[in-house]
Amino acid sequence: MTYVVTDNCIRCKYMDCVEVCPVDCFYEGENMLVIHPDECIDCGVCEPECPAEAIKPDTEPGLESWIKLNGDYAKTWPNITVRRDPPEDAKDFDGKPNKLAELFSPEPGQGD
């Protein structure tokens, strides 16, 4: 089991999650974060910290594509352990549907 970051993180990226992870297993893309499935120890601490409710346990149904996306990009995006300010327009994107198709970027973020 692992935890995964899902759709509503895209363009929100509040980064509250990175501050609480005991094993520093978040990785940063241009406009979302992912969790490394082999590093996550399933502690669950990050799930309630995410203001966008974007973090889910992989035991929830329907998350197959997100499990793959987290695993794939955690291998290439840089590690992030220190919270930065979220984008100024993050609130405008909270809860928007279909972000993966319309807003996802495969480009890496800046990391720590």
Where does this chain bind ligand SF4 (CB under 6 A)?
A: 3, 5, 9, 12-17, 20-21, 23, 25, 33, 35, 40-46, 50, 52, 54-55
Q: Which is nearer to ligand SF4, 23 or 82 (CB)?
A: 23
| Shortest distance (Å) from residue 53 CB to ligand SF4 | 8
Residues 6+ apart with CB under 8 A from 52: 8, 9, 12, 14, 94
User: Taking the chain, what is the end-to-end CA distance rounded to the nearest angstrom?
Assistant: 26
| Shortest distance (Å) from residue 3 CB to ligand SF4 | 4
